[in-house]
Amino acid sequence: MFEFSAPWILLCLPLPLFTWFFLPPLKIEQNQALHAPFFRYLKDFMNAQSFSVATYVRHYSLATLIWVLLVFAAAGPQWLGDPMALARNGRNIMLAVDLSGSMQITDMSLKGQTVSRLSAVQWVAKQFIQERQGDRLGLILFGSKAYLQTPLTFDRSTVIDRLNDSSVGLAGQLTSLGDALALAVKHLKDLPKNSRVLIVLTDGASNSGHFSPLDAATLAANYGIKVYTIGFGADRLLVPSPEGMQTVNPSADLDEKTLSLIAAKTGGHYFRAKDSESLAQIYNQINQLEPIALEKVQYRPKTTLYPWPLGAAFLIAFAVLLRRVFSQFKRVQ
């Protein structure tokens, strides 16, 4: 939508007409003289001019156009973009996703197809990220080491893209859960209180890194960071063996005790997800525990347009000035 930031300035448009018709003409005293050393050249120039009706119309039209452009520029023309809803007091949510070698186990079902654990996480987490409008989200990927893949941002599409681009083993084959927690604390500790949230998803036990998970959880608790932990992976999987199909527990290495202690230390919750459906339900529960801010602020991006009429006015005035200077120069010669 187009609008003026100061539309009342448009009332100045007829000002030259009021000046012309209502102000008295300037009185010139005859006993005063202006010394003009170039008077002879000026006299020759004035005598050579043919002020026809067309000339008057052209001169006054250009003057009127310049005046209108200047007034339009002073009125502050601007273009308003589409309204954008911004939530106040949104949360800062960091997602930490395990990329260790066990995340490639295909014990998940998605849309009737058997997929790896990471594929299921990518699909379900996408829905969660899309719903967190107004929150800042970040992404940490961890395996043998922990890496900040996406800093906290309102750009949810970027977070989704970086998560979808991740692959098993990208950060190593082991699990450095403590380092992932410590890295999240580093990026959350200086943010406003009651807005620091960390969601950790893993399918194993911490067996790498410099920080122990419980020490990192204590550090998170000291900074008021609430940690939700999710243990992911099926508890039954049929695998072929020499004796035929055999049922195994692919989540035997999952350290549920440590994940529960981390959540308890920080005031969060521990969840157990055995399939993609239960993982989606867990994310819905987190949405209820950490509700999205409902107070909205309407924001419309503004693009100022005054340089265009202002520049056009100066260009026209400059062109007229150049034309008169060159015309006078030619006639004097």
Residue-wise pLDDT tens digits, 36-52: 665 565 565 555 555 55
Instruction: Give the model confidence (pLDDT) of 177-203 as tens digits.
Output: 999 999 999 999 999 888 899 999 999
Cα torsion 75, 78, 84, 89: sign: negative
**pLDDT for the residue numbered 41:** 57
d(CA 61, CA 68): 10
**pLDDT for the residue numbered 91:** 86
Instruction: Give the model confidence (pLDDT) of 88-137 as tens digits.
Output: 557 899 999 999 998 998 888 888 888 998 999 999 999 999 988 878 99
Going along the chain from its start, the domains and CATH numbers come out as: 2-12+39-81+301-332 (no CATH), 88-292 (3.40.50.410)
DSSP 3-state of 139: strand
Instruction: Give the model confidence (pLDDT) of 259-307 as tens digits.
Output: 999 999 999 999 999 888 999 999 999 988 887 655 556 677 888 899 9
Instruction: Give the model confidence (pLDDT) of 48-64 as tens digits.
Output: 555 555 666 777 788 88
d(CA 149, CA 138): 8
d(CA 37, CA 42): 10
Question: Are 178 and 213 contacting, i.e. CB atoms less than 8 angstroms apart?
Answer: yes
Instruction: Please give the model's pTM, rounded to 2 decimal places.
Output: 0.62
